[in-house]
Every structure is written in structure tokens, then in C-alpha cells.
Structure 1
Amino acid sequence: MEAVRNEALEAWMREHQYSANSLASAMNSELEALTGRPGTYDGRQVREWRSGRVRWPHAAARHVLAGLSGKTAVDLGFVPRSRTAPAAAPQEDPMYRRALVTGALSLAVAAAAPGSSSTRRIGMSDVGRLQDKFSSVIASDHKRGGQRDIEQQAADLADTALNLQNSGSATQRVRSSLYATAASFRSSAMWAAIDGRRFKDAVAHMREAQTLAELSGDQAIKFRIWSHTGTLYRHMGRPADARAANDVARSLHITRRDPMFASLGLARQMAIQGVSHELRSLPRTFGQAQEAMHRAEGNTHRPLWLLAFWDEAELHSLALTAHLAAGDWATAEYHAHRCLASLRPHMQRSRAITTSRLAQAQLAQGHVDTATRTAMAVTAEAATQHPRVSRMLQEFGAALRATARGSADARAWTEHTAAWKATA
């Protein structure tokens, strides 16, 4: 039988702003309050219920959900395995209700109990094995950013880290590291959604990531998530919210301890200033970000996600973004050339984005032929499969037709994009 999505559960979760993982966490806390033992529910189980693949959870889960929601399992959209059993009348009997609750709690205790007399010990080696997978997520992002499979892989690995929390005993250091690892994966899922312009999904990842970061106490991952939040709001056209989120990132004490974080915070502030058309502020903010970056040189004890992308090329990329948004086309072109000259080879997504923006800056200055050749340099893969690049090139094509309708460049661009689509 084909699974039927549980719309009632989904609507209740949406109303109360629960993600799959946050609902699982709330259920585990509720179960611990009832039984004295933490539960082992995870986001994957909740998604199984929400998708309809599991239509009737076990008794303990139904009881905990009822306690959290104030609704019966049927009201939450679950379908009993047998509809022939006596229904409402016996449940009105207080003795029956006490027996039902007692049975549910007994099942809950059994579900929470370890499988053997010896409890598994989780160590930093377990955390390390998970963190090793983070590098592949980062590499995929730099090569093919914005894809749904990258987002899903990162989200699944975040769930794996959370599941490990409930699989045995651990020191506080290990638990904090696991939360930080889960937050890292969730923030990568958030970034993939931002890059793919799936903003609703990005907001959901953001909320989950922020909670995990707070549980971890890790300043670096808190910075990453709040900095990404600023970028998310900037792309959504909400510069005031973007500035507020980026201010949270910049206020963390890690920016005072390590100038590299301060540099990134300033550069993203510059991009927000560009959207807000604060043209006079841009050179000063760029200078401050560059100076902080130079002060930070030589220290390599930083998170992988920061070391993998933040450098002089990306600083010029954000300066390009800022000046393009503010309408300073010539300065935008300057920063684009500086970025492309120093981009590391693995930054394929960044190269496509920068090239597309360079073409826009050149066209805005009236350099139609040069701009068209620049836009044609974007690879077919990036032009057709990366949502942000595709959108920028569509905007370029519309501007080219408006600027030079019927010209040889406009015809060449039309033929070139037709060839892209044919190979997609």
C-alpha cells in the first residue's frame, strides 16, 4: 500500500514550529520526565510518521505524543492497525485508562533501556569518524553547491550524530562535540538550501542548527550558523534582519579571539551594506575585513569549513556582491577580476557565481561584447544545475536583450543558452 502523508501531524508540527529532530528531542525529554530514563527517538522516526510510512507508532510513542500535544493519536492522523477493537467506551473507564498508561510506560521503559547489562561508551573516536564525513560534504558544496542531495546528506548526518547521543554513555566533552558536529552538518544543509534558493527549507534547518549550536556551546559553529542566517535574510530581501543576525555572529567572543572570524563577519556585513545601498561605507568595511584577515595569517587551528573557503578571493567575492548590489559597476568588476585571479581550483561553484556577476557588471557599463563572452565562459553544468547561477544568467540574458535587442551578441547568447539546455 502506498504511504499517505500524515497531514494532521504535519499541520500540528508546523503550528508549534517543530522540526522532526526537535519533536524527537521533546519526546525524549517528556519520556525521561515520566520514567526517569531518556528516550531514544530521533528525527528519522518522526519523518517516518509524518510521511505515512509508519501509520501507527508503538504505544509509548503514542502516549508521549498525546502528553505533548493534548490530542489522541487518531486526532494526530495516525491510523490504528485494526479498526475492529472496542473503541471509545472502555477508555472512559478510569481503571482502563490507568492500565493503558501503565502499559505505555512499561513499554517506554523497555524502549529506553540498553540492550545489554553493559552500557556502550561513546568516545571522541566516534565523534571523529562522523567529523571525517564532514569534509566530503564541504567538498561537494564547493563543487556542486545548492543541490538537494547535498542538503539531504548533511541533514542525515546531523541525525546520525544525534542518534549517537542516545546510543550510550559519554562525557560532557563528547556530548558537546556531538552536538557541535550535528550543528555543523545541519548548518551545511542550511547553506545548501540557501544556495539552491529553497529558503523555506533553509529556515527550518536554521532553527534546528541554532538549537544544536546552543547545546554544544561551540563558539565557532554558533558563528557559522548566525553568519549563514544573515546571508539567508540578505538573499530573502530582508536587510534589517540580515544585519541583526550578522551582528549576533560578530558579537561572539571568538571574533575577538581570532581575527579570521572577525574578517568574515565584516565581509558579510559589507554585503549587507551593499544591499542597503550604503555605498560610502563599503571601502572602509572592506579595508577592516582585509586588515583583520592579514592579522590572522599563520594560525591554522581553525574549523575545516572556514579553512576550506575563507581567503582573499572570497573577500573580493563579497566585495563584488556588495558593489554590484549598490550599483557601483566599475568597482564590482575590479573585485571580480581580483577574485577570479586568486580562487583556489576546488572552488568551482564560486568561480561560476563570480563569472556570472562579472558579466552583469560589464553589461551594466555598456561593454556588451565583453559581457557576453564572459557569461559564455560559465560551464554548462553550473548554468543549468546551480539555481543561483541559473537565475543570475537568466537576469543577464534579460538585460542583454533589453540593452542590445537584435544584436549579434544577443543572438549569440540565445544560441549558446539553447545549447546549454540541450545538454542539460
Structure 2
Amino acid sequence: MDATRNEALKAWMDEHGHSANSLAEAVNLATERITGRTGGLDGSSIRAWKAGRVRWPKAAARLGLEAVSGLPATALGFVPRRRTPLTSAPPQEEPDMKRRSVVGGMAATAALAAAVPGSAAPRRIGMGDVDRLQRRFAEIIASDHRHGGQRGIEERAAALADEALTLQNSASATQRVRSHLYACAAGFRSSAMWAAIDGRRYREATTHMREAQSLAEMSGDQAIKFRIWSHAGTMYRHTGRPADAIAANDVARNLHITRRDPLFASLGLARQGAILGVAQSRSAARRSLGQAQEAMERSSPGVPRPVWLVAFYDQAELDSLALSAHLSLGQYQTAEYHAHRCLSALRPHMRRSLAITTTRLAHAQLAQGDADSATSTAMSVPAEAAAQHPRVSRMLQEFGAALRARAPKSIAAQTWTEHTRETWRSKG
């Protein structure tokens, strides 16, 4: 009998941007977290699932897949093997109830093994534990907007991700709580990833990204999936890989959450515009930025949204991304316009963004031939950010090189050289 293709699994993989290899990797990691044993799937295993050659995966693989997808195996097109019925078979549990029982039982067993002999029943984790982690997440977000790019932020966020996973494996919990804990861990990892990107530590960022992606799949949280893939697009943009950047950002933009909430759609489109600027796609960048503006104007301010989104994405950030796009395209007058718009609307806590936008404004002014104004603008970047934020430091070094190339013997160039010498001496 010919195998019937598993269209439900294929549709889910397409919706979530999974290749056979990436799904195999995510399921293997989930299986290891649940059972303590590494999963043995590879791309060919997933292709066998999709082709219908495997109608009912082994138990460990099913648990991993269900943790990644947030769905029972039957909802993904798999069909349980038929068993010879007993005389009086007990009622079958719903697949999702069965999965919760298995996962909860494993967690409880692990907690009992770790408990002190003779102690009371193992602790049960709940939404109070999740709320505590989310407060720590808000602290990480605030620290990032003040300082950005610091290795200490990256390390603290990674440690909190590990803390969330340790809590996950230390006690019993409902499936709802477990999903929230995975989302917390993914959120912390995504913050570690962003700090590494902002600090130009791209190898570390890639490691955090892979861990965050797997955790996000296990959480089923669309918002955190969006954040991770959107950050991946930004990372590839910074490393000069626009094709990869567009592909990663497309995964974020194609998530259902962008259709439910125009603010997510706006951020995805704005970042796409910045990427298209790097790709030198002038009309596409302009169109994407226009659509981002329209989506922002459609968004409702009273809708509950994640703290990481509301902490930074607003009209000022949209103008900041437009500034980046137009700088890349060589449209310096338009870039300067967006820089001034951004600076006029920037919220006080966005210190990192203030330094980056001011530095980009200096570049736009210099490219238009106004060396004096550009130098004055660059000198207004806070000394701490100029000396200690890797991305700002790099952009200011590039500004100095461009200034010396354009006007090597000018008063502006001399003033800038003296200013940087004093800045680095006081903060180095």
C-alpha cells in the first residue's frame, strides 16, 4: 500500500519556516531536555515523516515534536498504530492530556530523585515563578537600552536562561507553566543574542540564536519567535549578508502574530527596509518603509504587548531604521531628515539609541559636505558610549576616517582628533 503524504506536518513546517534539518535539530534538542537522551533524528527522518513512510514516530521523538510544535502528534497528521482491543479497554486519554501526564511525570520523578530523603512532596512551580523571571527579563531589557552591547548583559541574560531551564527540570508544573518557562528562557537567550550582536561578537550571537530558536519552538510563543528571527535578520544585515538577512526577517514577518497585530508587522517591515537599503534595493526599501509607517498608524496603543517590544518600538525607532536604510542607499539628505525626527521623539531611557542615531546623523552631515556641523554632532555623542559601546565606537572611528579623507587639514579634523584623544584617555 502506497504511503500517503503528511500534508498537515508539511503545512506546519512551511508556516514556521522549518526545513527538514532544522526541525530535526529542534526535535532532538527537545527530546534530550525531556528524556535526558539525545534524539537521533536527521533530515532524512523528517522527510520520511512528510512522505508518510513513518505514520507514527517513536515515543521519544513524538514527545520532542509535540514540545517543539505545541500540538499533539495527531494534529500534525500522524496516525497511532492500531492495537488489538482488550475485552474491556479503559477510555483513551486525549493525546494532549497524555503528553502532559508523561512530561509532568518525568519532571516529578526528576524532582523526587533530587529531593532530600524523607522530605515533603516535591515543590510545584507556578505562574508566580514565571512572573519573577519576567521581572528579571524587564531588568535585562532596561539595562540593554541604557548600555547595550556589553558582555556583562550577555552573560547575565544567558545565566537567567539557564536558571529558567533549571527551574523547568526541578519540579512539577502544568503544561501552561512549562510553556511560559520555555518562553522566558528563549527571551533571555534572545537578549544574550542581541547583546552579542550589539557588541559585534557575532560568533557568540550565532550560538545564542540557535539555542533561543529551539527554546522558542518548545514554548510555542509567537512573539518571542518573532523577536529571535527578527534579531537574526539584523545580525546578518550588520555582517553584510543581505540575502540571509531578508530570509531570516521573512520568517519573522510570516508568523501569524504579524497579521493579528499591526505593530509587529510594522517592525518587520521597517527592519526589512533597513536590510533592503544594504542590498541597494532603493524602490523596495522605500516601499517597505512606507508600509511600515502605514502599519504603525493602524496599530492600537491599548493592546497588551511584550515588554521588549513596547520598550523600544515606536515612531522614533521606525525613523531610526529609515535613517539606516537611507544612509546605506547614499540618500544623505533624507537620512538626515529621519535622524532629526528620531532624535526629537526618542524616549529618555533609550541612551544606546541616542548615541547610535547621533553618530549616524554625523555621517549623513559629513557626506553632504558639512564637516563642521558633522564634527559638532559627533562630539555630542556621550563619552561613555563613544568609548565603551562597540558599535558606536566603530561608527565613530569610521566617521573620523571619512573626515580625514574629505578634509585632512581642516580645523574640523584637528578638533575631532583632539576630542577623541581626550575621550579615549578619560574613558579607556
Interval containing the TM-score (normalised by the shorter chain): 0.7 to 0.9
Contact 2:226 2:255 in 1 (8 A): yes
1:119–1:234 distance in 2 versus 1, CA, 3 Å: same
Superposition CA RMSD, Å: 2.2
Report the equivalent of 1:26.
Answer: 32
Alignment-derived partner of residue 136 in structure 1: 139
Say whether 1:308 aligns with 2:311: yes
The alpha-carbon distance between structure 1 residues 211 and 31, as it changes in their structure 2 partners (threshold 3 A), is: closer
Structure 2 alignment gaps of length 5 or more: 1-24, 40-58, 61-108
Cα deviation, 1:202-230, whole Å, max 9, x if unaligned, reads 00000000000000000000000000010
- Cα displacement string for residues 174-220 of structure 1 (whole angstroms, at most 9, x for unaligned residues): 00000000000000000000000000000000000000000000000
Partner residue in 2 for 1:236: 239
Deviation (angstroms), 1:113:
4.8
Q: Which residue, out of 118, 126, 130, partners 2:129?
A: 126
The residue number in structure 1 matching 2:258 is: 255
- Cα deviation, residue 24, structure 1: 11
Corresponding position of 2:405: 402
Any idea what SS the aligned residue of 1:277 has? coil
Partner SS for 2:349: coil
5+ long unaligned stretches in structure 1? 1-18, 38-107
Secondary structure (helix, strand or coil) at the match of 1:252 reads coil
Aligned with 1:206 (options 193, 204, 209): 209
1:188 aligns to 2:191 (yes or no): yes
Give the match's secondary structure for 1:167.
coil
Give the secondary structure class of the aligned counterpart of 1:373: helix
Asked whether 1:375 is paired with 2:381, we answer: no
- Aligned-pair identity (%): 67
Equivalent position of 1:423 in the other structure: 426
Alignment of 1:320-339 (within 5 A): 320-339=323-342
Where does 1:3-402 land on structure 2 (aligned, <5 Å)? Answer: 26=32, 29-30=35-36, 112-115=113-116, 116=119, 118-402=121-405
Change (3 A) 1:176 1:282: same
- Alpha-carbon distance in structure 2 between the residues aligned to 1:204 and 1:140: 22
Work out whether residues 356 and 392 of structure 2, in 8 Å CA contact, stay in contact via their aligned partners in 1. yes
Contact 2:111 2:171 in 1 (8 A): no
- The answer to whether the 8 A contact 2:342-2:357 is kept is yes
Match for 2:277: what amino acid?
Answer: G
Q: 1:280 to 1:23 in 2, by over 3 A?
A: closer
**Change over 3 Å in CA distance of 1:310–1:185 after alignment to 2:** same
- For 1:327, give the aligned amino acid: G
One-letter amino acid of the counterpart of residue 26, structure 1: E
In the alignment, the residues of structure 2 paired with residue 32 and residue 229 of structure 1 have an alpha-carbon distance, to the nearest angstrom, of 26
Cα 1:352–1:110 change in 2 (3 A) is closer
> What is the aligned residue count?
332
TM-score of the aligned structures, taking structure 2 as reference length: 0.74
Structure 1 distance, partners of 2:30, 2:392, is 36
**Amino acid corresponding to residue 373 of structure 1 in structure 2:** S
**Equivalent residues of 2:111, 2:170 under 8 A apart:** no
Task: Report the CA distance between 1:26 and its aligned residue.
Answer: 3.0
Q: Does the CA-based 8 Å contact 2:185-2:215 persist in structure 1?
A: yes
Q: Secondary structure of 1:406's match?
A: coil
- Which residue number corresponds to residue 65 of structure 2? none
- The amino acid across from 1:315 in the alignment is L
Residues 315 and 171 of structure 1, relative CA distance in 2, 3 Å threshold: same
Q: Contact 2:30 / 2:218 at 8 angstroms: preserved in 1? A: no
SS in 1 for 2:124: coil
Partner SS state of residue 344, structure 1: coil
